[in-house]
Structure 1
Amino acid sequence: MQAKITKQDSSARAEQPKHDHTDKQSKSNEVFDSRKIEAKDIVPSLLLNRIESNYQTASFQALKKDILHAGGNVQPIKVRPTAGGKYEIVFGHRRHRACADLNLPVLAIVENLTDVQLWEQMERENRLRKNLSPFEQGMHYKLALDKTLFESIRRMAEAIGGDPGNIAKMLGLANLPQQVIEAFEKTSDIQVNWATPLKWALERDRDGMITRAENIATSRKTGNASVEKMSPKSVLAALVGSDYKNAANDSQLEIFSSNGQKRAVIKPGKGGTWRIDLSGPGLNLHVLEDKIKKILESS
């Protein structure tokens, strides 16, 4: 699989009281200050990468057909003005792309937004609609951190009301080597909870894992029947190997104080989680929470 990335993403629908998680055209009872804008005058946002293959799916073709039948997008997209009389998409990339392909003007709401405001609105729409895969969501978070919209994962999580642990996992997916990503038939196959075993395998034997990933991708391209039948979980297992499960079962870390007393035991739990058992008097849970958060943010 060639995971070609383009700075265009899937549409997030305009703000409505309810979200039905579809791109289906429907009328809204809300009143929008919207206008028709030529598709050529609207540019994709630089704050969200989107995989080009998403514009070749059956759902996108259905969206185009719906827009063609309606004579345009019924639900407006949102844009912000930029230099040179152009507009940058806040959300609605799929609708814009469909209108551009059909040579139709785009119904759009125009609002002046900062980079952070644009990113937050885009993130909220995509998250509520479950519009992005974990990998694409990770790319979204990575771009925001790379562009220093937020100083840390924790600050980002506070801004969007997200869980820092989940954000860190999705960032882990976005930071996977391209060879590993291409071992999967589709990036949408990669699950958020796979970030932990994939990271473990890379740290243990990066070269070996990349070689296995390249072999899987090459075999799929050449029509190897056994590889073509591999499920996403089978690909994960082939990349990580059986040692991960064995290591998870056997691993246990004991922490002792300066006077030799055992104060904590860290052991693996189910589904890639870890359990921390603490003992002894005088534990400051607030200090402990801060220290754990710092460790997670730096990992």
Structure 2
Amino acid sequence: MKSSAKNIRLTSVDELFSTEESREDAQREKVVEVALSQLQPFQNHPFQVRDDQAMQETADSIREYGVLVPAIARPDPNGGYELIAGHRRHRASQLAGKETMPVIIRELDDDAATIIMVDSNLQRETLLPSERAFAYKMKLEAMKHQGERVDLTCAQVGHKLEGKKSRDILAEQVGQSRNQVQRYIRLTELISELLELVDERKIALNPAYELSFLKKEEQTKLLDAMESEQTTPSLSQAQRLKKFSQEGHLSLDVMRAILSEEKKSEVDRVTLTSDTLRKYFPKSYTPQRMQDTIIKLLEQWQRRQKEQER
């Protein structure tokens, strides 16, 4: 019988004298100081890093106290590290005159890194529609990839076991309806100029959703029509533009004709987004409870106004 001695692995001296505690400690994640120049932004990062007042306040805090929450990064095959979470802290550290920042280094595949990157940014108080749109799209694609690896013969096997699809799970995680998540993702089909108008609130979300079904060349022509008519499409106009596009009859002249029509008079309304209202209510408040509270406060204000008029 052949000897199997060559397959025997001898325990090293270091291993013999190491404790279980020291071996576990070696496997724990460590916070290390990494040069800012060695940290590269995440590829196709959908969240804007703006040098606004909030950024300046963060820079002032870092200048005085340092970075309190470490960033997360993964090794970059081309050298250095790719930032996963901490892009604003990275920029604020630059503005604060720092050369390094604390970072947790993790070995992550693309899908896991994408999910962490999106989740760490969706907690911001204010997000632009474009940021939310691309973030939802990136995370949904990553979740689908992870589901596909459960069983390569069927992309939905993993989800069927749980009774839910990736889109339903994502909707629950971000606190939106499945349809609303889909409407945001559709915005990624808009050309950048139109999407910028959505971010600037010059085009509302519902009309923007309808316009996302226009071909890219039609969207470009629509910009010209909007410029010449000095207006943006209402919901009903956007729906008609979509219908003409699907029928193959959407020309520049048709666009101008639709946009030149006098918009139907609408009831005056004030729209407050959920992101705006959240700043004034505890996190435990549901949308319905926020609405009830607002109505109650308005009623109290109305009574005081009437008393003052007497």
TM (norm. structure 2) is 0.50
| Preserved CA contact (<8 Å) 1:115 1:149 | no
1:39 is displaced (CA, Å) by 0.5
What whole-Å deviation, never above 9, does each CA across 1:215-237 have from its counterpart, x for those lacking one?
Answer: 69xx8xxxxxxxxxxxxxxxxxx
Q: In the alignment, is residue 108 of structure 1 matched against residue 122 of structure 2?
A: no
**Does residue 134 in structure 1 map to residue 129 in structure 2?**
yes
Larger helix share, 1 or 2 = 2
Question: Secondary structure of 1:128's partner?
Answer: coil
Alpha-carbon contact 1:134-1:190 (below 8 Å) kept:
no
Aligned-pair distance for 1:84?
A: 4.5
2:232 aligned counterpart, secondary structure:
helix
The correspondence for 1:119, drawn from 90, 111, 114, is: 114
Q: Which moved more, 1:206-215 or 1:160-169?
A: 206-215
1:171 alignment partner in structure 2: 185
- d(CA) in 1 for partners of 2:102 and 2:139? 27
SS of 2:103's partner is: strand
Which of 232, 242, 248 is equivalent to 1:239? 232
Q: 1:63, CA displacement in angstroms?
A: 1.0
Displacement of 1:114? 1.5
> Whose RCO is larger (CA < 8 A, sep 6+)?
1
What secondary structure does 2:83 align onto? strand
Q: Per-residue displacement from partner, 1:11-55 (whole Å, max 9, x unpaired)?
A: xxxxxxxxxxxxxxxxxxxx973111101111111152333xx42
Instruction: Say what the alpha-carbon RMSD is for the aligned residues.
Output: 3.8
Q: Partner letter of residue 101 of structure 2?
A: V
For residues 40 and 55 of structure 2, what CA distance do their matches in structure 1 show? 19
Report the Cα offset of residue 170 of structure 1.
Answer: 1.3
Alignment of 1:31-70 (within 5 A): 33-51=30-48, 54-70=49-65
Stretches of structure 2 that go unaligned for 5 or more consecutive residues are: 1-27, 149-154, 156-164, 241-268, 270-310
Structure 1: which 5+ residue stretches go unaligned? 1-30, 220-237, 248-270, 272-299
CA distance in 1, matches of 2:238, 2:99: 54
Match of 2:75 among 81, 85, 102: 81
Q: Does 1:210 align with 2:229?
A: no
Q: Distance in 2 between matches of 1:75 and 1:82?
A: 22
TM-superposed CA distance for 1:132, in Å, is 3.1
Task: State the one-letter code of the partner of 2:68.
Answer: V
Matched residues in 1 for 2:239 and 2:43: separation? Answer: 43
1:143/1:214 CA distance change after superposition, 3 Å: farther
Q: Does 1:161 align with 2:154?
A: no
Out of 159, 180, 185, the position equivalent to 2:194 is 180
8 Å contact kept, 1:212–1:239:
no
Structure with bigger gyration radius:
2
Aligned-pair identity in percent equals 18
TM-superposed deviation, 1:214: 4.3
Matched-pair contact (CA < 8 Å) for 1:135–1:188 = no
Q: Is the 8 A contact 1:90 1:121 kept in 2?
A: yes
Q: What do residues 120-165 of structure 1 show as CA deviations (whole Å, max 9, x unaligned)?
A: 122222223346323202122334567884779x525436735432
CA contact (8 A) 1:201 1:244 kept: no
Q: Distance in 2 between matches of 1:190 and 1:92?
A: 30
Cα distance change, pair 105–207 in 1 and its aligned pair in 2 (3 A): closer
Name the CA shift for 1:210/1:97 in 2 (closer, same or farther; >3 Å).
same
Distance 1:179 1:64, change over 3 A: same
What is the letter of the counterpart of residue 239 of structure 1? T
Distance in 2 (CA, whole Å) between partners of 1:208 and 1:91 is: 38
Residue number in structure 2 paired with 1:228: none
1:201 to 1:45, Cα distance in 2 relative to 1, 3 A: closer
- For the residue of structure 2 that corresponds to 1:50, the secondary structure is coil
Task: Tell me, in whole angstroms, the C-alpha distance in 2 between the residues paired with 1:164 and 1:208.
Answer: 31
Partner Cα separation in structure 1 for residue 202 and residue 133 of structure 2: 11
From 190, 201, 205, the equivalent of 1:195 is 205
1:79–1:91: 8 Å Cα contact kept in structure 2? yes
Secondary structure (helix, strand or coil) at the match of 1:239 reads coil
Q: Does the C-alpha gap of structure 1 residues 171 and 36 become closer, same or farther in structure 2, counting only changes over 3 Å?
A: same
SS at match of 2:108: coil
Pairing of 1:86-97 with structure 2 (within 5 A): 86-97=80-91
User: How many angstroms does 1:119 deviate by?
Assistant: 1.4
